[in-house]
Structure formats: structure tokens, C-alpha cells
Amino acid sequence: MRWSDIGQSSNVEDRRGVGGPMMIGGGGIGVLILALAVWLCGGDPSQLLRSGGGDTGQQTVSNNAPQSQDQNRAFAGAIEKSLEDTWKQILPQQARVKYSDPVLVLYTGQVQSACGFTTAAVGPFYCPGDRKLYLDFAFFNELRQEFRAPGDFAEAYVIAHEFGHHIQNLIGTMDKMQGNNRASVALELQADCYAGIWGYYAQKQGRLDPGDTQEALRAASAVGDDTIQKRTQGYVVPDSFTHGSSQQRMQWFTRGFQSGQISQCQTYK
């Protein structure tokens, strides 16, 4: 993805290296791997933390993915800026809703938000209470190494999905869709679709490289509930899904990517 000339968002709060309360109990890399089950804040982190760990996979690194912490910071700031520029145009046009920027919070290990104290084990998340996206770059390492989903556009998809939850918050969808797994799946798939909408406009701007779409689809597939359940427990329980199957996640990202239209992301219908 061609992101280096996008510029930097002014809505990035860097809390990396800031101390916080000690984490009780052990997590380790196994828990971080399983964090992908709830990486989009639609599931119950306690379910993930009660799950078993995973084996450490062989590292697979994409040449075009940010590697250093400074590169990661620049990359996240650029993607946030691109998302802001895109949604401030299309949200009023397509949904007749006033747009406001969220804040992207970068942290390491643990963080305090309006949603409570959280560790990196839950993965990236959006907190509607303070309208902030929270990201620990360790998640990108897990995405590359353990789930074999490398690439800068795969990482951009993660941020775009969380940004999608902010759009849901602005529209009011979050308040309407609560209370059970089915509602959670609808919200998560819609956020995938919104991530695809951003990808549609990034492509129109000539920012995507060959293979970028496949990077995002590979990441969406890797974090499907069925794929994660097969890996962690050996069998699939569809009634326990909180984010949707791999096929559903790819399908809804693709729908947004091909249409660029909010109206095509009505997963709750």
C-alpha cells in the first residue's frame, strides 16, 4: 500500500511506555494469539482468556509491512488520516450524519479506557464511551507470525475495522444492536464492510498495490470464528460466534470494497 505520502493524523495519542496497573495472572504469547477471537471488541474477552494457548508459528514477514516502532507509528498515523479524510466526506453524503474524528490510542501491554482496564490480550478495540480506538502493535506481529496474514494492507484493515465501529457509533447502530451473539456478529461484519468501503476509496486514489486486496481477505479469513475455534478447540460451535465465519468476514469486506456504499452494509437485515 502506498501510504507514506498521506500525512499524519493529529488524533493519535501515544501511550506506549506509560506504566499502568500490574496484570494479575499469566497471558503469554498463547493468549495473544487467541486475542484474535475478540480483536474487534465484539466478543467477551473473558471467554478468550479462559481458552487454551497456541503453538508459536514460523515467522512470515511481508517486505512492505512496517517493521520498526517508528515505522509502525508513522503507518498508523497515515492510515488514521486516510480514514478520517474518507469518512468525513462519505458519512454526511451517504448517511446524512455529522462526522467527528475518533482518537487512535497506541499503547503497550495494558491500557485504561472509558470501557475499563484492558490488556493487549483482547487485541485492538474501539471504546464507544470515549470514542477512541486502541492498538498495541504486538498484534501486528501476531497477525504476521501466527496467522500467516502479513502485509501493510492487512494491518490497515485492522485499523479500518476499528474505525468502522466508530462510524457505527456515530450513526447510532451500536445502541440498536446489542444483547446477544447474533447482534455482535452483525456489528462485526458491518465493521468489516465499512473497512471495505475505505478500501474502495483508497483504491480509487491509486494507493493500493497488486495483492493488497488479498492481504486484507487473508486477514479477514484468519480471524473468522470458525477458523479460530478449529485451531484452538478442534471443533466449531456456530451458536457461539461473535464475529462471523471466515467466509462471512471475507464476503462483507468484499461487498464494501466493491460498492463503496454504506447502504450495502446492512448486515443486521
Domain that holds residue 128: 12-264
> Is residue 260 in some structural domain?
yes
Question: Is position 3 within any domain?
Answer: no
Give the pLDDT of residue 66: 53
Number of structural domains, the chain? 1
- CA 27, CA 180: separation in Å to the nearest integer? 27
Evaluate whether residue 83 is within a structural domain. Answer: yes
The verdict on residue 22 lying in a domain is yes
Asked whether residue 31 is assigned to any structural domain, the reply reads yes
What is the value of pTM for the model shown? 0.82
* Domain presence at residue 187: yes
- Match 495483492 to its residue by C-alpha cell: 211
Residues of the chain falling short of pLDDT 50 = 20-35, 37-63
Model confidence pLDDT, tens digit, residues 164-179: 999 999 999 988 877 7
146 located within any domain: yes
Burial class (CB in 10 A: 0-12, 13-18, 19+), 244: buried
d(CA 216, CA 164): 15
Q: What residue has cell string 452483525?
A: 186
How high is the pLDDT of residue 27?
Answer: 36
In a domain, 5, yes or no: no
Predicted pLDDT of residue 19: 52
